């Protein structure tokens, strides 16, 4: 099953929501449940070992966290004995058990569900008599890494975001950047440095001021390189300098009509050098109040950032 077929299969959960949820709200249920099911499948092979380690270290009065990470071979765990399969075996207590299961995750994962406002939707689904049906449907979707690798899962999730944007009457490009556009942006970014970048030992850093879901970041980068904040007012990478800035490439692509979507401010952040190199587009006049020059260094694209993500 390719990523589009997988995303379409997952999206069939919307049939259960029709009538009780507006179309524009489907993603608020489908996206967090997709994340939950993926994590559920990822943790399944080491679940027994983690629970055993948790019980042993807790009984000894030792902080179990580092031992649990080692047992799970991941940087997150779930210490609750439940999983989605067990949850659907107790229909009468589905709400309480699901909340308990989510609370069993490591803090970093719990934060993800807090950002989804997942507890609110659990309560709403339960009130409308849909919580068990939705949970049961997701429990039947196999998202185990042996069957759906990380690349396919990432593409499927981005396809779900695109569907959510379309059904909400929003521009899909505000949430999703097609892979062919990413390849073109990378080529434009490096077009003048082919010789330097083909030499051994050369390392270049890229600043992406609007990382979004992080799908454009190079695979395998440290999560610490993603710094939440506001590109213009909250410097998430204070004191660091970078060789390239992706905003400049995106602005050029918009200027020549290749990439029309507008994201959360990427077109408002340009260097002084760039401002003199490209004629201002029509929308620049209305955005003039937000145009703050970045602190330019010696060459185009080499700037000190305002915030967000690094590749």
Predicted confidence (pLDDT) per residue in 208-263, tens digit: 776 665 555 555 566 667 777 766 677 777 777 777 766 655 555 455 554 444 33
Please give the Cα distance from 287 to 292 (Å, whole number). Answer: 10
Predicted TM-score (pTM) of the model is 0.64
Asked if residues 135 and 88 have their Cβ atoms less than 8 Å apart, the reply is: yes
pLDDT at 172 over 80: no
Asked if residues 33 and 134 have their Cβ atoms less than 8 Å apart, the reply is: yes
β-sheet bridge partners, residue 242: 303
Which pLDDT band holds residue 126 (cuts at 50, 70, 90)?
very high
Which pLDDT band holds residue 271 (cuts at 50, 70, 90)?
very low
Which pLDDT band holds residue 266 (cuts at 50, 70, 90)?
very low
Strand order in the sheet with 309-310: 244-245, 206-208, 309-310
Of residues 211 and 274, which shows the higher confidence score? Answer: 211
Please give the Cα distance from 105 to 152 (Å, whole number). Answer: 24
Q: How many CB atoms lie within 10 A of CB 16?
A: 18
Please give the Cα distance from 288 to 295 (Å, whole number). Answer: 18
């Amino acid at each position: 099953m390719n990523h589009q077929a997988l995303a379409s299969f997952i999206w069939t959960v919307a049939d259960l929501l029709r009538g009780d949820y507006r179309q524009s709200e489907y993603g608020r249920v489908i996206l967090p449940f997709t994340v939950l099911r993926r994590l559920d499948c990822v943790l399944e092979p080491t679940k027994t070992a983690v629970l055993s380690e948790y019980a042993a270290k807790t009984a000894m009065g030792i902080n179990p966290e580092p031992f649990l990470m080692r047992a799970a071979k991941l940087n997150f765990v779930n210490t609750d004995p439940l999983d989605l399969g067990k949850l659907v075996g107790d229909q009468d207590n589905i709400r309480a058990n699901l909340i308990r299961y989510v609370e069993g995750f490591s803090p970093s994962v719990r934060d993800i569900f807090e950002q989804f406002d997942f507890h609110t939707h659990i309560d709403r689904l339960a009130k409308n008599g849909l919580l068990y049906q939705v949970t049961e449907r997701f429990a039947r979707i196999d998202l185990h890494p042996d069957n759906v690798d990380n690349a396919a899962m990432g593409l499927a999730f981005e396809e779900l975001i695109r569907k959510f944007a379309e059904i909400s009457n929003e521009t899909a490009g505000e949430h999703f950047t097609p892979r062919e556009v990413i390849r073109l942006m990378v080529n434009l970014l490096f077009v003048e440095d082919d010789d330097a970048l083909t030499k051994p030992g050369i390392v270049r850093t890229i600043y992406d001021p609007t990382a979004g879901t992080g799908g454009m970041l190079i695979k395998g980068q440290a999560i610490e390189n993603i710094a939440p904040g506001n590109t213009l007012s909250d410097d998430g990478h204070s004191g660091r300098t970078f060789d390239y800035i992706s905003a400049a490439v995106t602005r050029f692509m918009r200027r020549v009509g290749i990439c029309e979507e507008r994201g959360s401010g990427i077109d408002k952040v340009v260097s002084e050098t760039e401002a003199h190199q490209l004629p201002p587009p029509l929308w620049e006049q209305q955005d003039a109040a937000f145009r703050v020059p970045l602190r330019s260094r010696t060459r185009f694209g080499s700037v000190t950032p305002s915030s967000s993500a690094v590749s």
